[in-house]
Amino acid sequence: MILELRRYSCVAAALPIVVALAASASAEAPYPTRNITLVLPFAAGSGTDTTTRLISKELGVALGVGMVIDNRAGANGSIAASYAARSAPDGYTLFVTTNTTHSANPYLLKTMSYDPIRDFTPIARTGDLPFMLVIHPDIPANSVAELIALAKKEPGKYSYASGSSSASVSGATFARLADIDLLHVPYKSSPPALTDVIAGRISMMFIDVPTGLPHVNAKALKPLAVTTKRKSALLPDLPTMDETVKGFDITSWQGYLGPANMPKDIVVKLNAEIRKIVERPDIKSQLAERGMEAFSGTPEEFDGFLKEQLVLWEKLITDAGIEKQ
């Protein structure tokens, strides 16, 4: 009996130590403690890739960890979106994306392996990536009106490439509103599509400003107009599509999301750091040089924006007569 009592006494005495050790083991160091992976739905060299690398570099410094860029191009960004959605919601895998995966795909694809709202946690919007219509320099047109005239004169002769939903919807919208016959040639991402336009194998393309601007400056492409209804501060001398093709108003947004059910404190921390970076004058200036109009907001504002964009893009795609693939 004495032995039994001594045994229980020892166990009881050890309990506070065990509890303390358990509490210590469960108390994790403040987030983050290791590298963060940023999954992108487009290839290296795309507008989203270029701007994300600049922002993520500063984000890594602010958080004190490394930032790993994981480009997973293909299937209109669905490959990357599905991967990000299935990742652990611990803040170590984030998704940097655009309207391609989260506004347009639900109305472009017959089957979806992710839900753009249910499967993600909005973190921070980082700005807009305006698009512009560019053509091969050999095409004898110096305005949208002249290009339309050429297309009407020779139906089916001219083609447009696309490496994203924004580009494909812009091309289809242009053809519908201008009442012209254009051949659509889709690509997995913008860089290879742009290569074929520069080579003259494809006539034109709606391309995000960050990706297309260096080629415009090098005279390898001829810019005709921006796709937004208002003129772009980045390209103030370039007319808008709406000036010739009434009702044309398309832009691409960019932002950070995580898998569904991310801890609120991690979302708040990431949002605060991303907003600080995006609002810095030096970063705004560098992003502008890359063709991005940078701004941000709260996770709640981003969530509302995502839902509004789904409605907008459903109308754009339905009006353009694009069938689900």
Measured between alpha carbons, how far is 267 from 257 in angstroms, rounded to an integer?
9
Residue 316's Cβ-side half-sphere holds a number of Cα atoms within 13 Å equal to 29
Which tokens belong to 95? 């998704």
Q: Are 220 and 198 in contact (CB under 8 A)?
A: yes
Confidence of residue 321 (pLDDT cuts 50, 70, 90): confident
pTM for the predicted model, two decimal places:
0.79
8-state DSSP, 46: S
Between 21 and 156, name the one with better pLDDT. Answer: 156
Average pLDDT over residues 129-149: 95
Which is nearest to 235 in space by CA: 162, 166, 293? 293
Q: Are 296 and 124 in contact (CB under 8 A)?
A: yes
Please give the span between the terminal C-alpha atoms of the chain, in angstroms, as a whole number: 78
Residue 262's Cβ-side half-sphere holds a number of Cα atoms within 13 Å equal to 31
Between 30 and 15, name the one with better pLDDT. Answer: 30
Q: What are phi and psi of 123, to 5 degrees?
A: -115, -60
List pLDDT tens digits, range 226-275: 998 888 877 889 999 999 999 898 988 999 999 999 999 999 999 999 99
Q: Residue 32 pLDDT more than 70? A: yes
